[in-house]
């Protein structure tokens, strides 16, 4: 009697690729770079609105004097340690300037960590207008992580978000949108409490 051989069924697992991910660096910590579009309004229902995207691009070009390398840049510290962020200019590593009042008053050194995402604590977020293909670094626990701001494969994705974390953070399009909405509201709250106006996004 012939014995019947059981065929082993091989199933291919589909790997979901996050289309917003630009690069992922992992040593003892993770540094993931995501990119979406600068827009007047955020939320999934606005993500593909051409007028909304053009409005964001016009605003960015106004700030960067029509530099095609110009981007909106954000860092989120979701690790378990304080960090310092610097960029390289003429061979020197420099922390971006911060203000005494308003939404940019938190320094770029000793940035506290947060355990919340997308509703991240405001003191763990830094934002600045920057440029592609520039060199930056993060200082943490006597370690240094150097990296370059790479462009997304779709150049219209000009809002870049770097997440520094101890564990891999699950990021979805909705979480990115929710994070940006939350960050804008928190920025407005800080500005208002310091006697300043709300952000461009919140103005009608």
pLDDT digits (tens, 9 = 90+) for 40-72: 999 999 999 999 999 999 999 999 999 999 999
Q: What percent of the chain has pLDDT over 70?
A: 92
What's the rounded Cα separation, in Å, for the pair 70 and 84?
22
Q: φ, ψ for residue 59 (rounded to 5)? A: -65, -45
Characterise 43 by phi-psi region: left (phi > 0), alpha (psi -120 to 50), beta (else). left
Band the pLDDT of 91: cuts 50, 70, 90.
very high
- Region 148-166: mean pLDDT is 97
In this prediction, residue 9 has a pLDDT band, given cuts at 50, 70 and 90, of very low
Q: Is the pLDDT of residue 186 over 60?
A: yes
- pLDDT value for 204: 75
Query: How large is the average pLDDT for residues 89-93?
Result: 96
pLDDT tens digits, one per residue of 130-145: 999 999 999 999 999 9
- What is the assigned CATH class of domain 21-195? mainly beta
State the chain's mean pLDDT as an integer: 92
Rounded mean pLDDT, 66-95: 97
**Residue 28 CA to its chain's centroid (Å):** 20
Q: What is the pLDDT of residue 16?
A: 56
Residue 17: pLDDT band (50, 70, 90) is low
Domain boundaries, given as residue ranges, for the chain: 21-195
Residue 78: pLDDT above 60? yes
Give the distance, in angstroms, between the CA of residue 159 and the centroid of all CA atoms in the same chain: 7
DSSP strand pairing (92-94 vs 30-36): unpaired
pTM for the model stands at 0.90
């Amino acid at each position: 009697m012939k014995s019947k051989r059981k065929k082993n069924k091989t199933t291919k697992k589909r790997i979901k690729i996050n289309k917003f991910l630009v690069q992922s660096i992992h040593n003892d910590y993770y540094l993931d770079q995501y990119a979406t579009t600068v827009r007047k309004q955020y939320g999934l229902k606005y993500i593909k609105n051409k007028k909304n995207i053009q409005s964001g691009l016009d605003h960015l070009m106004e700030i960067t004097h029509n530099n095609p390398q110009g981007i909106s840049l954000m860092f989120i510290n979701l690790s378990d340690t304080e960090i310092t962020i610097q960029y390289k200019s003429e061979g020197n590593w420099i922390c971006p300037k911060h203000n005494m009042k308003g939404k940019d008053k938190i320094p770029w050194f000793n940035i506290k960590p947060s355990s919340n995402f997308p509703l991240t604590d405001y003191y763990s977020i830094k934002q600045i207008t920057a440029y592609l293909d520039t060199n930056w670094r993060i200082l943490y626990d006597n370690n240094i992580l150097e990296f370059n701001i790479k462009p997304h494969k779709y150049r219209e994705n000009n809002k870049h978000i770097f997440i520094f974390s101890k564990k891999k953070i699950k990021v979805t399009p909705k979480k990115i949108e929710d994070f940006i909405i939350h960050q804008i509201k928190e920025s407005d709250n800080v500005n208002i409490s310091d006697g300043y106006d709300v952000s461009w996004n919140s103005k009608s």
